[in-house]
């Protein structure tokens, strides 16, 4: 059985502040977040003061901090939901948990509050099994095990680098789906977590995730931006692009990604019809993106996440750059991100 105990000194909770008043959000999360250090990054486009309630161990970063540390003439933009990546950059903790500020704690089927921190850390500390699918989901959870026929040579598993949680109420649909089914809400709490098989792509949602920063931190970055990107999740694709990059990188490095519990409760937000006008560009671009990620292969010389991002950036520019200049800019941003990760990592004090 894996050690799933939590050392608060190993965990940072990163919040991208899209709303100016975080008081209701943080008060909802107080019982779960209070033992941990929080990094809150204020959206540089936000006017006015950011309100954070007392009683938290928190560092708040603003536009001036971003400009001071990374400059304003960079190919990387930390605006909107992308500001959370600045939190990933300045953290010095092993584990990062990131929750959007329109989410509150969910309840499980027994009416108990879901501790997202505890479950994410449990997911990350227990091995992943990407090379052979276990039909009883995660074999390392209490009450589960490997099913008959599962090779004993693979039962030790591999490192789990990324834990992708889910959402009750407003699921992370795209704008076309939400516009077509405006009343649809997710009320099914499925008490399960599983490893995503190797070579299977997935849409990683940034709403509720956790990762091992030491293993894959450099592979989570803000690179692909829509020309009309908005401040609502279905108006962005930065997390989807980053997610497909990190999945290919994890497959190459022989490590795993899990999806399932923990859940958060996602509040109502935005107008899907209006957002559809912005996101349609992203919906079409995804049709070009998926075949690329299905076929791209990284060289054996790429043995770290940084190596993989640099090589993938070259492939993006060479193979997708001619399809749309947006991809060429994404490739540039990926290469710049690795340089930034190294420079900030060697100079920034621990927060």
Residue 194 belongs to domain spanning: 9-345
Find the CATH number of the domain harbouring 100.
3.90.550
- pLDDT score, position 349: 55
- pLDDT score, position 347: 62
- pLDDT score, position 180: 86
- pLDDT score, position 111: 97
Residue 350 lies in a domain: no
Residue 4 lies in a domain: no
Residue indicated by tokens 């070579």: 199
Q: DSSP assignment of 60-100, as one string?
A: EE-HHHHHHHH-SS-S----GGGGHHHHHHH--SSEEEEE-
Specify the number of domains making up the chain: 1
Which residues in the chain land under pLDDT 50? none
Evaluate whether 124 touches 212 at the Cβ level (below 8 Å). Answer: yes
Residue 306 lies in a domain: yes
Residue 3 lies in a domain: no
- pLDDT score, position 5: 83
- pLDDT score, position 330: 94
- pLDDT score, position 346: 62
- pLDDT score, position 276: 67
Residue 272 lies in a domain: yes
Residue 351 lies in a domain: no
Closest to 233 measured CA to CA, from 266, 185, 184: 266
- pLDDT score, position 183: 87
- pLDDT score, position 70: 85
Residue 32 lies in a domain: yes
Residue 124 lies in a domain: yes
Separation of alpha carbons 19 and 153, rounded Å = 49
């Amino acid at each position: 059985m894996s050690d799933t105990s939590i050392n608060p000194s190993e965990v940072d909770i990163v919040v991208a502040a899209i709303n100016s008043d975080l008081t209701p959000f943080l008060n909802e999360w107080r019982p779960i977040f209070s033992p941990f250090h929080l990094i809150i990054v204020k959206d540089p486009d936000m006017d006015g003061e950011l309100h954070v309630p007392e009683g938290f161990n928190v560092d708040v970063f603003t536009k001036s901090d971003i400009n001071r540390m990374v400059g304003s003439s960079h190919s990387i933009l930390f605006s909107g939901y992308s500001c959370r990546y600045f939190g990933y950059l300045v953290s010095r903790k092993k584990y990062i948990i990131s929750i959007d500020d329109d989410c509150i704690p969910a309840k499980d089927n027994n009416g108990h509050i879901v501790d997202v921190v505890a479950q994410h850390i449990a997911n990350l500390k227990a091995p992943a099994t990407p090379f052979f699918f276990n039909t009883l989901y995660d074999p390392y959870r209490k009450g589960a095990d490997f099913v008959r026929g599962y090779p004993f040579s693979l039962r030790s598993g591999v490192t789990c680098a990324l834990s992708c949680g889910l959402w009750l109420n407003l699921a992370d649909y795209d704008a076309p789906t939400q516009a077509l089914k405006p009343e649809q809400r997710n009320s099914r709490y499925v008490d399960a977590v599983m490893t995503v098989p190797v070579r299977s792509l997935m849409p990683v949602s940034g709403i509720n995730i956790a990762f091992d920063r030491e293993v894959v931190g450099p592979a989570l970055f803000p690179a692909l931006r829509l020309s009309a990107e908005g401040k609502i999740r279905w108006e962005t694709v930065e997390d989807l692009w980053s997610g497909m990059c990190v999945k290919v990188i994890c497959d190459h490095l022989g490590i795993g990604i899990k999806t399932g519990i923990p859940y958060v409760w996602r509040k109502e937000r935005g107008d899907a019809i209006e957002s559809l006008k912005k996101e349609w560009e992203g919906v079409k671009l995804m049709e070009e993106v998926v075949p690329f990620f299905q076929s791209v292969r990284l060289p054996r010389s790429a043995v770290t996440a940084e190596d993989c991002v640099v090589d993938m950036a070259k492939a993006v520019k060479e193979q997708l750059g001619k399809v749309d200049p947006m991809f060429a800019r994404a490739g540039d941003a990926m290469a710049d991100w690795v340089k930034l990760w190294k420079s900030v990592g060697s100079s920034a004090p621990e927060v």
